Amino acid sequence: MKDKPVIELRDVWKIYDMGEVRVEALRGINLNVHKGEFVAIQGPSGSGKSTAMNMVGCLDVPSKGHILLDGHDIARLSESQLAQVRGKKIGFIFQKFNLINTLSAQENVMLPLTFLDVPEEKRKQISYKLMETVNLGDRTDHKPNELSGGQQQRVAIARALAVDPEILLADEPTGNLDSKSGETVMHFLEDLHRKGKTIVMVTHDDNLAKFADRIEVLKDGQIVKSLKCYHKDGKNYCEEK
Amino acid sequence: MFKDFFKLAVENLTHRQLRSWLTVIGIVIGIAAVVALVSLGKGLQYTVDQQFVKIGADKITVTAKSASQGGPGIQDSGITLTTNDLDVVRKSSGVHEAIGPLQKIAKIEFNKKTKFSFIRGMPVDDTRIVYDDTGMYDVEYGRTLKEGDNNKIIIGPELAKESNFGRQIYVNDKIHINDEEFTVVGIIKTGGNPGVSSIIMMTLDDARDLFDEKEEVSMIMVKIYNAEELDQVVENIKKDLRRERNVKEGREDFTVESTKKFVESFLVIFNVITTLLIGLASISLLVGAIGIANTMYTAVLERRREIGIMKSIGAKNSDIIQIFLIESSLIGFIGGTIGVLIGSGLSLLAEKLIETFLGEGFFQVFLPWWLLLGAALFALVIGTISGIFPARQATGMNPVDALRS
């Protein structure tokens, strides 16, 4: 498990220059995520955790420093290459689900495969299987607005898994859900982790962060603490490294 | 992949149906106007051309300058052409034959109803070669006038209609013209020259007797030997007539015109008008295009988040561009297709209306398949072009910003 990191952030800075105001969202972050790890990035709002997440997900590029994905620096990639990296290697799960409302649940799951030019039959097969995995096999034709929040987030998880990505990125995945739906979603993530998926999750919630193997605590754009977690008797414990 | 993007574009368009249709209407109006104007304009041009071919490129007409051409306040100058003028023209160099028909308005009585109409007295001897090849006086029923005919007439198809005298006029019917009885021997065919659809034609001798007019000719119609010498012969006739009528150059009391000149100047004016109208229609098309661009910009703004989502799950810029361009092209194409249908419908309607007034077969709109297909494809191209900038704006979005919206 502790071989070469899948994601590596080396002295990453993100600076927003808004005229007279200069906002340093990230200030020299170093972070390694290894294959099969479940890492939580935790911090209060404004701490830069979402910015860090966007960097890891190749949605944004750093102002300074390097991000290495499988050892390759993403700064060297073109916009289209970045899109392809996102499409093949990364699955996103957002707080607000971010499904496309005009498409049915199954079509939403199929969409990332469409961008990879997977043949329709195969797309249907994969997406249906995933809909069943997230226990929504009977909701394939429903539009997002016909589904509950929990169901929508499960569709989003199915979509994130469609391309069988190496890494799953979850940004406050239970933030918009009631506690029961939130629990279901967390169990799905736990299960995926157990099956070997690399997961990076952003949260402000201590209890959710404890599901991870490791917690990186972010404050004012810097990692201020790293915690290691272990799970015993159905409970999660974390301690400073 | 195109199929999936197409499906996505259709779903987006149907999702905001009202706005899509309103945008489509913009293109419909533009394309319908262009198609209707092109098909009517070209049709009319073709008709005029055909008429010219029928009349012939070897014809010249001489008329007297009437009082109305002299300007307001001038009484009838009494200027007429006479048989002397006809003789002069006939002897002009390059002239094959010339005739001097007599045309006057007379009182017509039939079926106890009275109307006024033009009577045209035409020579029916060998000199008829001047007008015979125009086919203008070909008959549909009965026979044409021949030498030795006395008190015989042929009449135009419009005049023969029931609406004029309460009863259709047939061959062998008797008609009173200025209280003299004439027998109808033929009806001129429909769809021919509209200039003869409502006249009565008799022999020149009959007309001279009827109107008691021995000298006057209403016009001189000339057929020349060689169509290529047309302009030269026009000059010859002018010169000879000036001498005969004793007038100076530039102060002629007559006009010598070739049909060719007339048709040419008509076509020039006509082309200018058509081009102008098509130009105006194109402006509405431009407005339609701006409408598409506007709708697509709104769509891009509305779907910022969706664009962000698509980018985050692997959509390349080229994918996003394709989706938006398919959408705008579809608006253009749908608008174009409906516009083509409405435009050709309008011109066919106009054709029917013109037929009602001028008779069947006279006018035909110009609606070749390539005009219809071309217009629809043109609309598609307009749609695509209108979508380019909005689509580029969509791809220029940073996915993080797009997702945050």
**Residue of B15, B313, B318 lying closest to A111 (CB–CB):** B313
Q: Give the other-Cβ count within 10 Å of B178's Cβ.
A: 13
Q: Which residues of B21-31 are buried (b: 16+ CB within 10 A; e: fewer)?
A: eebbebbbbbb
Distance CA(B347)–CA(B171), nearest Å, equals: 36
- Chains A, B: CB pairs < 8 Å: 69
pLDDT of residue B73: 42
Query: Which residues of A make CB contacts under 8 Å with B?
Result: 54, 57, 59-60, 79-80, 83-84, 86-88, 92, 94, 98-103, 111-112, 114-117, 120, 159, 163
Cα torsion at A121, A126, A127, A130 (round to 10°)? 160
Q: Looking at chain A, how many residues does it have?
A: 241
- Assigned CATH topology for domain A36-62+76-240: Rossmann fold (3.40.50)
The token pair at B224 is: 């020349």
Locate B330 and state its tokens.
């579809």
pLDDT of residue B95: 92
Counting other chains too, the contacts that B230-238 makes at CB distance below 8 Å and 24 or more residues apart are B230/B57, B230/B58, B230/B60, B230/B258, B230/B260, B231/B258, B232/B94, B233/B60, B233/B92, B233/B93, B233/B94, B233/B95, B234/B60, B234/B258, B236/B92, B236/B93, B236/B94, B236/B95, B237/B60, B237/B62, B237/B89, B237/B92, B237/B95
**How many Å apart are CA A139 and CA B325, to the nearest integer?**
31
Q: What is the token pair recorded at A104?
A: 């049915």
The Cβ of residue A20 has, within 10 Å, a number of other Cβ atoms equal to 5
Instruction: Give the model confidence (pLDDT) of A42-61 as tens digits.
Output: 988 888 888 888 888 888 88
Q: Which candidate in B312, B323, B397 is best for mutational testing of the A interface (most A CBs within 10 A)?
A: B312
Contacts of A86 in chain B (CB under 8 A): 311-314
Cβ separation of A83 and B315 shorter than 8 Å?
Answer: yes
Q: B39 CA to chain A: closest CA distance, Å?
A: 41
Helices (H), A61-119: 79-89, 105-115
pLDDT category at B77 given cuts 50, 70, 90 is low
Interchain contact, A111 vs B310, CB within 8 Å? yes
Specify the range with the lowest mean pLDDT, choosing from A226-235, B11-20, B249-258, B358-367.
B358-367
Q: Are B186 and B171 in contact (CB under 8 A)?
A: yes
Q: Burial level of A138, CB count in 10 A (0-12/13-18/19+)?
A: exposed
Report residue B66's pLDDT band, with 50, 70 and 90 as the boundaries: low
Radius of gyration of chain B (CA): 32
For residue B298, the distance in angstroms to the closest alpha carbon of chain A comes to 17
Nearest Cα of chain B lies from the Cα of A207 at a distance, in angstroms, of 26
Instruction: Please give the pLDDT value at position A83.
Output: 86
Put simply, the answer to whether B310 touches A57 (Cβ < 8 Å) is no
d(CA B343, CA A166): 57
Which residues on chain A are in Cβ contact (under 8 Å) with B316? 79-80, 83-84, 115
Give the separation between CA A127 and CA A185, rounded to whole angstroms: 18
- In whole angstroms, give the CA distance from residue A174 to residue A203: 9
Pairwise CB contact (< 8 Å): A59 & B312: yes
Per CB distance under 8 Å, which residues of B are interface residues toward A? 1, 3-4, 8, 11-12, 15, 305-306, 308-319, 398-400, 403
Segment B168-222, tens digit of pLDDT: 999 999 999 999 999 999 999 887 777 788 889 999 999 999 999 888 999 999 9
**pLDDT at position A230, please?**
85
Backbone angles phi and psi of B106, in degrees to 5: -140, 165
Mean pLDDT, residues A81-99 taken together: 89
Q: Between chains, do A117 and B317 touch, taking CB under 8 Å as contact? A: no
Inter-chain touch A115–B315, beta carbons under 8 Å: yes
A80 interaction partners in chain B (CB closer than 8 Å):
316-318
The predicted complex's ipTM stands at 0.88
For the segment B149-163, the average pLDDT, to the nearest whole number, is: 91
Give me the mean pLDDT over the B302-325 stretch. 89
Task: State how beta strands B152-155 and A167-171 pair.
Answer: unpaired
Nearest to B316 among A54, A84, A101 (CB): A84
Q: Say whether pLDDT at B75 is over 80.
A: no
- Cα gap B1→B233, rounded to integer Å: 71
Nearest-CA distance B314 → chain A (Å):
4
Q: Nearest C-alpha of chain B: how many angstroms from A234? A: 34
Residue owning tokens 């020259």:
B193
Residue of B nearest to A157 (CA): B313
CB contact under 8 A, A88 and B306: no
| B134 pLDDT more than 50 | yes
Asked if A59 and B8 come within 8 Å (Cβ–Cβ), the reply is no
Whether B288 contacts B381, CB under 8 Å = no
Contact yes or no for B8 and A103 at CB 8 A: yes
Gap between the Cα atoms of A174 and B10, Å rounded: 33
Tell me the per-residue pLDDT of A166-212, one tens digit each, with 9 for 90 and over.
Answer: 899 999 898 888 888 888 888 889 899 998 999 999 998 888 888 89
DSSP B66: P
The answer to whether B204 and B220 are in contact (CB under 8 A) is no
End-to-end CA distance of chain A: 18
Using DSSP's 3-state secondary structure scheme, residue A230 falls into strand
Instruction: Measure the CA dihedral B190/B196/B197/B199, to 10°.
Output: -140
